[in-house]
Amino acid sequence: MRDGGRLSAAIEVLTDVEERHRPSRLALKSWGNDARYAGSKDRAWVAGLVLDALRRRRSIAWKMGDDSVRATVLGVLKYEWDWPVDRIAAAVTEEPHGHGALTEAEIATLETPRDLAEAPPSVRGDYPAWLEISFARAFGDAAAREGEALSERAPIDLRVNTLKSDPARALKATQPLNAAAVPELATALRIPAPAATDRAGVVETIPAFSKGWFEVQDLGSQIAAACAGEIKGAQVLDLCAGGGGKTLALAAAMGNTGQIYAYDSEARRLADTIRRADRAGVRNLQIRSPVNEGPLDGLEARMDVVFIDAPCSGSGAWRRHPDTKWRLSEETFARRQADQDAVLDLGATFVKPGGRLIYVTCSVLPEEDEDRVAAFLARTEGFAVKPATSDEHLSARLTPEGYLRLTPATAATDGFFVAVLERTQPLADKAP
């Protein structure tokens, strides 16, 4: 495909996302199924343009003075990909697939964009206007910068599985993908983010991946799991296990000692956990599936650690899923907070005296983070906040309350929040 066809394809996909409210992943897949003529480089190019347009939708619209899909795509080519106006003009007029010649107004705007410095923080940071108060609470004057960092392309992080390998061997095995060690965590490796038009390296093609030497997992997620601390020989419940990423990280930290229980309210999510655990060599895992009656019976007040990776807005992962920030609604946001309250209350029932409740979100929004912990502590006696980490590399990122907040701007990770709550008295002592 030539530039004109690729550009038109991106506009087609973005229109599908906009008008049908489809996830970009599904819209790109649908286009790819219809465009059998498109090669792998064409698909990577179109996907890169679509995702960059979704990442920078509001700031591009401000610069262009136009929030249409076409204007967004043209703006990405000029302002993000550094295409000269002449190249853009040639692409849109290519026959037979060009999208139509540039107008005089488009040429003028591309050459002299509106000054972004005059825009409000949510425009400069490319997040919904209704979240301005939330971002200001979390980041103050740095709100726009934090939003900008959440709009950048993300690297690929790997967690070395110490049940099967070690960092040195895994690093050597991943050299074809240009992986490098990460100072914050000895068991983490990082593959740089590819250019927008390039395909990311396929981790699954490395033979060591099939052997279970490493897993794809964002560094922030790995750090969140590490906040469980020393858990060898412990009884651990992963209450919102999902596909099992943090379950496997916890199991590796346990060294196949003790017992880890994985539960999720949706049974289908646990299917991947079983498969991945087998490949990773995990032998101390019990799956507690909701298809069974009373799946968590017998675990009450017995757990050393209850790990809650709570359902949330996913705002911390906007780098990877930029369309989700535009689909998030105030109603959904409120429902998520209710879900978080419910799972905290449930998780508390399984923590034994002296045990820890670890509350994690992949969100940067205080309503899902500090506010939920504060509300939990207000209605639940017998828990005290403990510093989320004692790691010297991370202690500077602790909040005054002792919570850990990671963001792309401050930690080069996805956005994560971690609170560690220790049970200081038995459940029976809880006031009525």
pLDDT at 195: 83
- Report the percent of the chain where pLDDT is more than 90: 88
| 254: amino acid identity, one letter | M
| Torsion region of 65: left, alpha or beta (phi above 0 gives left; psi -120 to 50 gives alpha) | left
Residues 309 and 343: their CA atoms lie apart, in Å, by: 9
CA distances from 293 to 34, 188, 306, 348 (A): 44, 38, 21, 20
Task: Give alpha helix (H) positions in 241-390.
Answer: 245-254, 270-280, 323-327, 330-348, 370-379
pLDDT at 432: 43
pLDDT at 427: 67
- Which of 227, 240, 312, 362 is the catalytic position? 362
Mean pLDDT value across residues 41-53 = 94
Please, what sign has the CA dihedral across residues 427, 429, 431, 432? positive
pLDDT at 396: 85
pLDDT tens digits along 125-165: 999 999 999 999 999 999 999 999 999 999 999 999 999 99
- Rounded (10°) angle between helices 57-64 and 40-55: 80
Q: Is the peptide bond before 113 cis (omega within 30 degrees of 0)?
A: no
Residue 194: pLDDT band by 50, 70, 90 thresholds?
A: confident
pLDDT at 430: 46
pLDDT tens digits along 21-46: 899 999 999 999 988 888 888 999 99
pLDDT at 273: 92
Q: Is the pLDDT at 218 greater than 90, yes or no?
A: yes
DSSP code string of 70-88: HHHHHHIIIIIS---HHHH
- DSSP lists the bridge partners of residue 359 as 308, 419
pLDDT tens digits along 55-109: 999 999 999 999 999 999 999 999 999 999 999 999 999 988 889 999 999 999 9
CB-CB contact of 160 with 219 (8 Å): no
pLDDT tens digits along 296-332: 999 999 999 999 999 999 999 999 999 999 999 999 9
Residues 214 and 208: their CA atoms lie apart, in Å, by: 8
pLDDT tens digits along 239-294: 999 989 999 999 999 999 999 999 999 999 998 899 999 999 999 999 999 999 99
| pLDDT mean across residues, the chain | 94
| 109: amino acid identity, one letter | T
Residue 309 annotated in ligand binding: yes
Mean pLDDT value across residues 178-191 = 94
pLDDT at 428: 55
Q: Is 227 a catalytic residue?
A: no
3-state SS, residue 218: coil
- Report the percent of the chain where pLDDT is more than 70: 99
